[in-house]
Structure 1
């Protein structure tokens, strides 16, 4: 097969994957995970049912791909190493929280906590990607002359704490959105964490 022919096949494959993800994202948000079938997604996307497991293996793989794409759409991974102010990153996060599909992460969390199968392991990967992105942002600001081993441990702890704060605010925004100002909450988190960022590298290690 010529390179041009292979390129065309790849383009068709990517287009099919996009249409499947678009349909699944809409249906999962409207109906929920359990009440959405491959048949529903096939009808909505116009892609044959048999193509869905070819792209995503199973329903668990599909829903994780939906969530990961939704996050990457507003929280562009490259921004973590571009040193934007933390407030700018959290603005991106707030935009995703307000999107209609961010509740999918908590729908998956319920299933992940009650199993040790594919969803559980994929959700671990999802959380790890979130932590890794935040850790990259912290590490990009590491001053010179800092012991890398000590710094790495503390940067990871900072990322875990920040990720936990964001998950907590996200959950409150989904359950009780009128009880607080999401933007103000994100500004408060940014201010608090940026104010204490220097302590990641300057606090003496515990003996």
Structure 2
């Protein structure tokens, strides 16, 4: 009996996180209500505060879930990491991250801190892909990670707004060509 209750609780939580992720990506954090999330998940809206405390707690669960999903997809160093970094653009979670970016940059945004954690995790993921000796002398690996994550986020935003104007394969080939020797395969 207790096992069944635990399974139902975990399933309810998963359904709420999934519904919230889709709605936050589609409508934004502020424009999404508990009612919207509960309706999409098919669960009572009272379940949201019970599971997450409040809407910000739900956002944190969504960001953590989506971030784990994205970071678990990064390949081991032997594969071609640039393919994976550029592949990040096509991951459904990336739409959520771009939608949240618009809200996160506002002064006093309740999601700013969560978004900063997301960027930090993405930079750490990229840093894990960079061979220690691949950067030119004097290049700061952390600054390089900021640059690469920023480029991918910018490319993604342009592609979402005007996909017909952004050839992702050409962008990837160009990025590979301009990377320093040794990083052409990151």
* Same fold at TM > 0.5: yes
- Count of residue pairs brought into register by the alignment: 181
Once the two structures are superposed, what CA deviation does each residue of 1:95-152 show, in whole Å capped at 9, x if it has no partner?
21xx3x63332332222222335411111101101101111111xx325xxxxxx99x
Q: Which of 140, 147, 156 is the equivalent residue of 1:154? A: 140
* Structure 1 unaligned regions, length at least 5: 144-149, 199-207
Q: Which residue of 2 aligns with 1:202?
A: none
Q: Which protein is bigger by CA-based radius of gyration?
A: 1
Identify if the C-alpha distance between structure 1 residues 80 and 10 changes in structure 2 by more than 3 Å, giving closer, same or farther. Answer: farther
Q: Tell me, yes or no, if the aligned pair for 2:34 and 2:45 is still in contact at 8 Å.
A: yes
Q: Which of 34, 37, 40 is the equivalent residue of 1:44? A: 40
Identify if the C-alpha distance between structure 1 residues 51 and 58 changes in structure 2 by more than 3 Å, giving closer, same or farther. Answer: same
Q: Distance in 2 between matches of 1:113 and 1:166?
A: 18
Aligned-residue offset at 1:193: 2.8
Aligned-residue offset at 1:71: 4.7
Runs of 4+ in 1 over 6 A off after TM superposition: none
Aligned-residue offset at 1:196: 5.7
SS of the residue 2:94 aligns to:
coil
Aligned-residue offset at 1:91: 4.4
Q: Tell me, yes or no, if the aligned pair for 1:90 and 1:190 is still in contact at 8 Å.
A: no
Q: Tell me, yes or no, if the aligned pair for 1:109 and 1:123 is still in contact at 8 Å.
A: yes
Q: Which residue of 1 aligns with 2:170?
A: 184
Q: TM-score, normalised by structure 1?
A: 0.71
Q: Which of 114, 123, 133 is the equivalent residue of 1:131? A: 123
Q: Distance in 1 between matches of 2:17 and 2:150?
A: 27
Q: TM-score, normalised by structure 2?
A: 0.78
Q: Which residue of 1 aligns with 2:83?
A: 88
Q: Which of 85, 101, 109 is the equivalent residue of 2:101? A: 109
SS of the residue 1:33 aligns to:
coil
Q: Which residue of 2 aligns with 1:146?
A: none
Q: Which residue of 2 aligns with 1:53?
A: 49
